[in-house]
Amino acid sequence: MADALERRTVLIVEDEPIIRNTLAEFLSGEGFEVTKAGSVAEGLQAAKKQDFHVAICDVQLPDGDGVALLRKLQRINSSVFGLIITAYATVENAVDAFKAGAFDYLVKPVILDDVLNKLKRVFEFRQLFIENQALRRELSQPQNFEQIVGSSQPLKELLATIAKIAATSSNVLLMGETGTGKELFARQIHSAGPRKQEKFLALSCATRPADLLETELFGTENGSPQPGLLRTAGEGTVYLDEIAELPMGTQTRLLRAIEYQEGMPTGGTETYPVHCRIIASTSQDLMRMVGEQKFQEDLFYRLDGMKIRIPPLRERLDDIPELVDHFITRHSRAMRKRVTAASSETIRLLMAAQWKGNVRQLDNAIERAVIMCEGASVEPSDLPPDLIGMGQPLPDTDDLRSALRHYEKLHITRVLRQWPDKREAAKRLRLGLSSLYRKIEELEIEL
């Protein structure tokens, strides 16, 4: 079983010191990693610092009740299982415990062997539950995994734009940083369009010599005749990745193919009709390249009319948990490993990282983590060493005001990075524009 390789962590929240210490000593002797808490507040504080597999909570606590505490613990970490300790074994108590998500309950005076047996059952059930959840995710995934993952607002807005453009046959320019998944979005445009049954052919302009690019695009009649992508695609789509790398002479030929809907093979004398849709992508500033005479101005304007910006991962941080789940499923299946999830601490660290390499960097990080993972859950230690420390530092204080100031600065900085227009940023933050400027000054936010 996977749990045999994992730490088995247990949180005990009990206000009676004798019961709390006796349980902790006994379970530690049985190989469990135990953390003790004497109140709701202490239990919540412990859960924010560490993920627990099981929480054993007394119903009556000095600052609340264990049933409500269990609900809060499960909001912090949805995979925690609970055991409720109660002084009276009544139907009402049992129903309340089960409604809160408890696996079982214990009756005072607590019998240690009973605790051990129920804990063993919890861990056995937990393993089956995790495997079942992983199987459900796996069955819901398409076999090729070629899909757009996430539900953040920037991604929703992007997909809404794509849906409108896909319904036409217009040529499209995708602009975005390296690693943002531009080809995936190009395929989405094709598959959502009126010609989705036709071919989708991709060509990387950055990895081909100039003469080979022309041959692959337009075909040749020299030596062994080749039809070229523009002809082979028919009424489908030709995707040109990193079009900024296309030589100027090839740009001129492509512009003619778009304007006059005809191409000519290298070494040929007869033209052929071009009916395919062109989707181009770039991580470069094409307008600047036009000014430097490194890119055809007419070709730029032919493509710029339908321009879509692909947001970097730092602008869609809310998608990271879903992306992590997606990549874990894919890589664990490919490696035949039973890695099913990432711990809450891992997710928090991943959401704090900078991601200069965007989704591709995240994918590579999760692939490495699945390789290194020895249990069922990816832990921070499984991540690439250079990723640790890339995130924003957590506040080294227990003072609530200092912590709130720290997170307020992080949040406002993220929104300003995503929405450079301060009026729009203030609107997103639900602040007045003057209040936003005051926050920028107070928090010493660098723009």
Q: Are residues 181 and 193 located together in one domain of the fold?
A: yes
Q: What pLDDT does residue 106 have?
A: 84
Q: What pLDDT does residue 4 have?
A: 36
Q: Are residues 420 and 295 located together in one domain of the fold?
A: no
Q: Where would I find the H helices in 208-310?
A: 210-218, 229-232, 248-260, 286-291, 297-304
The tokens 């395919």 sit on which residue? 276
Q: What pLDDT does residue 422 have?
A: 86
Instruction: Kindly state whether residue 16 falls inside one of the protein's structural domains.
Output: yes
Query: What domain range is 187 assigned to?
Result: 153-309
Q: Are residues 300 and 317 located together in one domain of the fold?
A: no
pTM: 0.61
Q: What pLDDT does residue 233 have?
A: 93
Q: What pLDDT does residue 246 have?
A: 93
Element (H, E) at 20: helix 17-29
Q: Are residues 6 and 118 located together in one domain of the fold?
A: yes
Q: Are residues 274 and 227 located together in one domain of the fold?
A: yes
Domain boundary among 281, 309, 337: 309
Q: Are residues 7 and 98 located together in one domain of the fold?
A: yes
Of 161, 296, 303, 173, residue with least CA distance to 241: 173
Q: How many domains does the chain have?
A: 4
Q: What pLDDT does residue 285 have?
A: 93
Instruction: Kindly state whether residue 259 falls inside one of the protein's structural domains.
Output: yes
| Residue ranges for the chain with pLDDT beneath 70 | 1-6, 88-97, 99-101, 130-146, 223-224, 388-400, 403, 418, 447
Q: What's the burial of 422, exposed, middle or buried (CB within 10 Å: 0-12/13-18/19+)?
A: middle
